[in-house]
């Protein structure tokens, strides 16, 4: 009963936000409720019989969480989860407002939550997770985090709070350092076969530790190979085959993380074949390399969120780019990191836009990569880009950061957050 | 002859794209018709005697733990070369170390962290960049060929006037007469974009 007024206020705020900004704005209702009823989060999350499963790290959280949730649901579990745009405390409040009864209760077996690497330590101080999956530590959001070592310290605290199971990436030395610090008994490992990483130009893009490499632990789940048609993984000695929802080495790593996370969570009831089938049936994540149609013409939307994802996406960029737009939005607070990315796979950019259009254009100009048009207004840029005649010999591609993606999505009318947001 | 831009431990000290400063200098020299090369000095190596500029970038705590002693090993050489005709530039955590090692003036005492765009003034010129600093080290300082700044990332890219005047001094010290061609296509394209960067980031700096 205690939380009824708070939930009602939260829902009212949510309704108002949706009227003003269709398809956007999940933070405000949660922010309001987190102020008037701070105890709601711990109360709600502590009620799930199977407890709390946390997925955190610098990159891959939302894809991995989506995979873990799908596999758990395929095994008959009722799951409470959060959208990727709501992975800090106020976002969890928003998700509760959305999914709970009027008294703040959510029925279900388990909460499987993606948590921001900067906030997870604080949240798990109040609500102990049963299981923690740590994906990686990258040089990311340094305007916030300053130094990757500080992120590693926060994730070490999160790892220490796992009561049952710790699921870690064997292919990130930062994570091996975390494990060394935590010295937990319930640790298991996921990774990619060494030849997969050896075959990439920029590796997985983890923050360098500059320490002597710790020996790679034996993995319980490992992706052995992947290509356009098929991914092969070994999960607790059982070989399975599946399709990844999107191309790229980071999706293979996310799948390995998801398989090991669900194997640990589900225990004896884990069915590797069912997990493989579930991964195969997952729809592609929006803007992670799948083809969408706008004005009846195929376009590929590519989301870049940090130096690593920009780099890996460029490394994987098909060479037949006929019409290419780059939009870097306001989510990039300090655009300095754009200068760490190797742009040699960009032969030309037809249109540069987004809040940080100028810094992106400057970067391109100093690399002497030809720029067609610089258009500060993203909506005008989108109008112009999609008004062009359809490509005749190659692809139409939009590379954008998270903020530019959200604005593009709203402007183009992709308003269903479930369809495209996660 | 070719102007030699020497970077100390560039694989370690590029946390915020700081090495782009050398890319910018090399491109501006190229656009002015002057040959330039960027030379990396990694661990265990020594600084070329004919360095026109020695550049010290910005790194993570882990990176510094790995190269700190290497930098200490090179301090004598840096002092000797900069006493002659070699320029020296240090950025952010590299700047803080340069101050502590007596390569540049000022202090670098701990204070509350600031993370924002910043505009500083040097030699009557406004300089724009991103400041993410937890020390009282000067935002930017210049004494002849010695330049230090807390502004990380591509300072020269956003401040071509500073880049060109510094390049002219570097070239002069090397006996090269540098005439920056304002009509160069690349340089004028960059100039137009720099105006747009300033328009946005000046506003952010005032927030």
Residues of A in contact with B20 (CB under 8 A): 339, 363, 366
Asked if the Cβ–Cβ distance from B200 to A358 is below 8 Å, we say: yes
pLDDT for A26? 64
Average pLDDT, chain A: 91
Residues in chain A with pLDDT values less than 50: 417-422
Residue A230: predicted pLDDT: 93
> What residues of chain A, 277 to 336, have a C-beta less than 8 Å from chain B?
334-336
Its CATH class, for the domain covering A41-281, is alpha beta
- Does B65 lie at the interface with A, CB-CB under 8 angstroms? yes
> Domain map of chain A by residue range?
41-281, 288-420
Please tell me the distance in Å from B159's CA to the nearest CA on chain A: 11
Distance from A260 to chain B by nearest Cα, in Å?
A: 30
Chain A CB contacts of B197 under 8 Å are 358-359, 362
Kindly report the backbone phi and psi dihedral angles of residue A68, in degrees, each rounded to the nearest multiple of 5, phi listed first: -60, -45
Residue B56 near residue B5 (C-beta atoms within 8 A): no
pLDDT digits (tens, 9 = 90+) for B1-55: 799 999 999 999 999 999 999 999 999 999 999 999 999 999 999 999 999 999 9
Determine the Cα–Cα distance for residues B181 and B161; give it in Å rounded to an integer: 12
Touching B: A residues 207-236, CB under 8 Å = 207-211
**How much is the pLDDT for B182?**
65
CA distance B81 to chain A (A): 29
Fold for A288-420, please state it: 3.90.190
| Contact: B14, A207; criterion CB under 8 Å | no
pLDDT per position as a tens digit, B74-105: 999 999 999 999 999 999 999 999 999 999 99
> Which residues share a beta bridge with A81?
A112
A218-246 residue pLDDT tens: 999 999 999 878 999 999 999 999 999 88
Collect all residues of chain A within an 8 Å Cβ-Cβ radius of residue B193: 358, 361-362, 365, 374
**B17: nearest CB among A147, A337, A357:** A337
Helix extents (H) in A267-356: 272-281, 307-315
Would you state the pLDDT for residue A422?
A: 28
Identify all chain A residues contacting B43, using CB atoms and an 8 Å cutoff.
none
- Domain limits at B186? 3-205
Mean pLDDT over B162-181 rounds to: 90
DSSP letter for A215, please.
Answer: P
Could you say which residues from 23 to 62 on chain B have a Cβ atom under 8 Å away from some Cβ of chain A? Answer: 23-24, 27, 60-62
CB contact under 8 Å between A336 and B194, yes or no, is no
| Residues making up chain A, counted from first to last | 422
Q: Write down the pLDDT at residue A247.
A: 76
Any B CB within 8 A of A411 CB: no
Inter-chain touch B66–A340, beta carbons under 8 Å: no
Q: Confirm if A358 and B196 have CB atoms less than 8 A apart.
A: yes
**Are B162 and B25 spatial neighbours (Cβ–Cβ below 8 Å)?**
no
Q: Quick check: helix, strand or coil at residue A53?
A: strand
Number of domains in chain B: 1
The reply to whether residue B197 touches residue A149, judged by beta carbons under 8 angstroms, is no
**Are A339 and B154 an interchain contact pair (Cβ–Cβ within 8 Å)?**
yes
Among positive and negative, which fits the CA dihedral A240, A241, A246, A249?
A: positive
| A100-114, B51-65, B138-152: segment of lowest average pLDDT | A100-114
Between CA A336 and CA A110 the distance in angstroms is 40
Helical H segments across A183-248, by residue range: 194-198
What percentage of chain A has pLDDT greater than the value 70? 96
* Angle formed at CA B168 by CA B164 and CA B170, multiple of 5 degrees: 115
Task: Please give the mean pLDDT across all residues of chain B.
Answer: 95
**In sequence order, what are the residues at sequence separation of 6 or more whose Cβ sits closer than 8 angstroms to the Cβ of residue A113?**
A52, A53, A54, A55, A65, A81, A82, A87, A92
| Cα A357–Cα A360–Cα A365 angle in degrees, nearest 5 | 120
Higher-pLDDT residue of A84, B162 = B162
Cβ contacts from A onto B, under 8 A: 103
Question: Which CATH number is B8's domain given?
Answer: 3.40.50.880
B91 in contact with A, Cβ within 8 Å: no
Query: DSSP per residue over A133-200, as a string?
Result: EE----S--HHHHS-HHHHHHHHHHHHHT-SSEEEEETT-HHHHHHHHHH--SSEEEEEE-HHHHHT-
Q: Residue B38 has what pLDDT?
A: 98
Alpha-carbon gap, residue A185 to A374, rounded angstroms: 55
User: Which chain B residues touch A208 with a CB distance below 8 Å?
Assistant: 12, 60, 62-63
pLDDT, residue A24, reads: 59
Is the Cβ of A393 closer than 8 Å to some Cβ of chain B? no
């Amino acid at each position: 009963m205690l939380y009824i007024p708070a939930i009602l206020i939260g829902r009212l705020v949510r309704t108002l936000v949706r009227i003003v900004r269709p398809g956007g704005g999940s933070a405000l209702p949660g922010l309001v409720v987190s102020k008037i009823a701070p105890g709601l989060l711990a109360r709600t999350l502590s009620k799930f019989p199977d407890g709390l499963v946390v997925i955190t790290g610098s990159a891959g959280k939302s894809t991995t969480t989506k995979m873990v949730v799908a596999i758990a649901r395929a095994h008959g579990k009722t799951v409470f989860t959060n959208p990727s745009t709501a992975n800090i405390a106020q976002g969890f409040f928003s998700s509760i407002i959305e999914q709970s009864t009027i008294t703040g209760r959510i029925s279900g077996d388990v909460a499987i939550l993606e948590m921001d690497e900067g906030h997870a330590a604080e949240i798990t101080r109040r609500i102990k997770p049963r299981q923690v999956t740590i994906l990686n530590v990258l040089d990311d959001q340094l305007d916030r985090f300053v130094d990757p070592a500080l992120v590693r310290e926060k994730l070490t605290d999160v790892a220490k709070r796992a009561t049952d199971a710790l699921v870690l990436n064997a292919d990130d030395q930062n994570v091996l350092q975390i494990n060394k610090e935590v010295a937990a008994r319930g640790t298991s490992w996921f990774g990619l076969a060494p030849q997969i990483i050896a075959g990439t130009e920029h590796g997985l893009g983890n923050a360098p530790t500059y320490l002597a490499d710790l020996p790679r632990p034996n993995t319980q789940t490992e992706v052995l190979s992947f290509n356009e048609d098929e991914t092969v993984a070994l999960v607790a000695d059982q070989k399975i085959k599946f399709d990844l929802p999107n191309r790229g080495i980071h999706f293979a790593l996310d799948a390995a993380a998801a398989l090991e996370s669900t194997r640990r969570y589900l225990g004896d009831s884990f069915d590797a074949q069912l997990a493989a089938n579930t991964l195969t049936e997952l729809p592609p994540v929006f803007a992670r390399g799948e083809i969408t149609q706008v004005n009846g013409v195929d376009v590929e939307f590519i989301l870049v969120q940090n130096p690593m994802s920009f780099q890996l996406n460029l490394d994987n960029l098909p060479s037949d780019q006929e019409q290419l737009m780059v939009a870097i939005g306001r989510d990039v607070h300090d655009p300095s990191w754009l200068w760490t990315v190797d742009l040699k796979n960009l032969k030309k950019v037809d249109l540069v836009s987004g809040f940080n259009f100028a810094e992106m254009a400057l970067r391109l100009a100093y690399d002497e990569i030809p720029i067609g048009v610089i258009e500060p207004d993203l909506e005008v840029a989108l109008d112009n880009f999609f008004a062009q005649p359809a490509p005749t010999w190659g692809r139409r591609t939009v590379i954008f950061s998270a903020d530019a993606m959200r604005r593009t999505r709203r402007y183009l009318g992709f308003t269903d957050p479930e369809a495209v947001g996660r | 002859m070719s102007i030699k831009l020497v970077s100390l431990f560039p694989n370690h000290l590029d946390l915020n794209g700081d090495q782009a400063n050398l890319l910018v200098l090399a491109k501006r020299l190229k656009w002015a018709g002057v040959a330039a090369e960027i030379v990396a000095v990694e661990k265990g190596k020594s600084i070329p005697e004919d360095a026109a500029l020695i550049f010290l970038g910005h790194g993570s705590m882990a990176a510094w733990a790995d190269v700190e002693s290497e930098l200490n090993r090179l301090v004598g050489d840096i002092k000797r070369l900069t006493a002659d005709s070699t320029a020296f530039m240090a950025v952010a955590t590299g700047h803080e170390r340069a101050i502590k090692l007596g390569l540049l003036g000022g202090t670098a005492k701990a204070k509350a962290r600031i993370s924002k765009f910043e505009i500083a003034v040097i030699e009557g010129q406004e300089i724009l960049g991103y400041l993410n600093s937890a020390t009282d080290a000067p935002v930017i300082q210049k004494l002849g060929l010695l330049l230090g700044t807390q502004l990380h990332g591509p300072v020269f890219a956003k401040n071509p006037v500073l880049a060109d005047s510094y390049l002219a001094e570097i070239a002069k010290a090397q006996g090269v007469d540098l005439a920056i061609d304002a009509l160069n296509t690349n340089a004028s394209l960059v100039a137009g974009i720099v105006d747009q960067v300033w328009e946005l980031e000046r506003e952010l700096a005032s927030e």
